[in-house]
Homo-oligomer: A and B are copies of this chain.
């Protein structure tokens, strides 16, 4: 058990769209990521996913509307809901999701990663 400093961990991330694991609890991972530009449309069939913006602004595009998140704001994307994160300027976010969650959800492609601990 240790103190985990979000700013220190974020400083260790240099690539966008590469979430890194910083903690685990129960069946979930807490991850940090830097987001920049538009990601891809995807969904997580069995996992709700939480986005908390630590710095910057994030738009989560849904098929029928957008959810805009500023610093200090969070949203939960329910399982099965298609979404596309979009950050015209870099956004730094904390993610919470089950350990089984794949970053690109039901889309497996070159953006799909195996997250590492930092």
Residue A113 is within 8 A (CB to CB) of chain B in the complex: no
A12 within 8 A of B: no
- Complex Cα gap A111–B112 (Å): 46
Looking at chain A's contact residues, the main secondary structure is: strand
Do the beta carbons of A75 and B3 come within 8 Å of each other? yes
Task: Point out the residue from B48, B67, B74, B77 that lies within 8 Å of A6, measured CB to CB.
Answer: B74
Query: Complex formed: what's the CA distance from A25 to B74 in Å?
Result: 12
Contact across chains for A25 and B96 when beta carbons are under 8 A apart:
yes
- Verify B5–A78 contact, CB threshold 8 A: no
**Chain B nearest CB: distance from A75 CB in Å?**
6
Nearest 9 interchain pairs by C-beta: A25-B48, A25-B76, A6-B72, A5-B73, A4-B74, A26-B48, A23-B76, A3-B73, A25-B50
> Can you report 26 A-B residue pairs in the complex whose CB atoms are below 8 A from each other?
A1-B67, A1-B76, A1-B77, A2-B67, A3-B67, A3-B68, A3-B73, A3-B75, A5-B70, A5-B72, A6-B73, A7-B72, A23-B50, A23-B74, A23-B76, A24-B48, A25-B50, A25-B76, A25-B78, A25-B96, A26-B47, A26-B48, A28-B28, A30-B74, A30-B76, A96-B96
